[in-house]
Amino acid sequence: MVLRRVSRWAVALPVALALAGLSGCGSGEPAASTGSGAAAATELTVFAAASLTETFTELGTRYEAAHPGTTVRFNFGSSATLAQQIVQGAPADVFAAADPATMKTVTDASLAGTPVTFARNKLQIAVPAGNPAGVAGLKDLADPKVKVALCAEQVPCGAAAVKALDAAGLRVRPVTLEQDVKATLTKVELGEVDAALVYKTDVIAAGGKVQGIEFPEADQAVNDYPIATLGKAPAGEAARRFADLVLSQQGKDVLAKAGFDTP
């Protein structure tokens, strides 16, 4: 799991309990006061897919600048893992998933409002700089001499990989199955594998550490990214404002710059 400015959700529980007594979560509203008259800060906790690490970190910084007194804390990781954490009681205000199926885990438990699709993403083949194995397309991943990393099938990037490989009629035997897309990409960056199927946005975020190879079957495995505020969000108003930022033109511009398609 990739974390930015946030501890594990279990560690966040005391923070959420401390927030339970606060009111006026929006920056435009008076904050709750302590007995000494000091203003209490608002903490907004966002659970988001690992592939959103760079874009949501930037949007979090922008949100904090626009709403002084609010701190945005992120828990980035596998959407499937995050959904299970929320269902099990992890305190969170916003959930942004890498596919509708993992969001459905949360909505089926009546823990979130109506999700809205805010971005789309598709796969690329990531290879180490210089492409030492000479991978040219998806069919090369079926060569037993090529070491391949994939996301586990139960997480969105893995489910997308299965769809793409099925569309190409290929069977690939990966040397490793990772729990989120960042961990999968790291295997390429370290030169531990010859190739991996990851999101286009992660290839872009890696810069010159990897090369991306497009393939036509990726168009048959596009992932929609939904966002929803959680029904028992400790920072309810701030949660709605953050979701609005993601859905705004400003949010779309940040996502598009990172390589996401927007609805």
pLDDT tens per residue, range 200-217: 999 999 989 999 999 999
CA atoms within 13 A on the CB side of 127: 19
Torsion angle (degrees, nearest 10) of CA 110, 116, 122, 128: -70
pLDDT of 83 strictly over 70: yes
- Please tell me the predicted confidence (pLDDT) of residue 26: 35
CA atoms within 13 A on the CB side of 28: 4
Q: Could you identify the residue written with the tokens 């701030």? A: 238
Q: What is the DSSP letter of 220?
A: G
pLDDT of 249 strictly over 50: yes
pLDDT of 6 strictly over 60: no
Question: How crowded is residue 47: how many other Cβ atoms within 10 Å of its Cβ?
Answer: 28
- pLDDT average, residue stretch 142-147: 97
pLDDT category, 41, cuts 50, 70, 90? confident
Q: What are the structural domains of the chain? A: 3-119+224-257 (3.40.190.10), 123-220 (3.40.190.10)
Q: Please, are residues 259 and 252 in contact by the beta-carbon 8 Å criterion? A: no
- Please tell me the predicted confidence (pLDDT) of residue 40: 58
| Distance of alpha carbon 69 from alpha carbon 75, whole angstroms | 20
| Distance of alpha carbon 146 from alpha carbon 111, whole angstroms | 43
DSSP 172-196: ---SEEESSHHHHHHHHHTTSSSEE
- Please tell me the predicted confidence (pLDDT) of residue 62: 98
Top pLDDT among 27 and 203 is at 203
Q: Where are the alpha helices (DSSP H) in the chain?
A: 9-19, 53-66, 79-87, 100-108, 156-168, 181-189, 200-206, 236-247, 249-257
Residue 136 CA to its chain's centroid (Å): 28
- Point out the least confidently predicted range of 11-25, 125-139, 192-206: 11-25
| Distance of alpha carbon 126 from alpha carbon 16, whole angstroms | 38
Question: How crowded is residue 202: how many other Cβ atoms within 10 Å of its Cβ?
Answer: 27
| Distance of alpha carbon 22 from alpha carbon 19, whole angstroms | 5
- Please tell me the predicted confidence (pLDDT) of residue 128: 97
pLDDT tens readout for residues 187-204? 999 999 999 999 999 999
- Please tell me the predicted confidence (pLDDT) of residue 22: 31
Instruction: Please state, rounded to an integer, the average pLDDT across all residues of the chain.
Output: 87
pLDDT category, 118, cuts 50, 70, 90? very high
Residue 140 CA to its chain's centroid (Å): 28
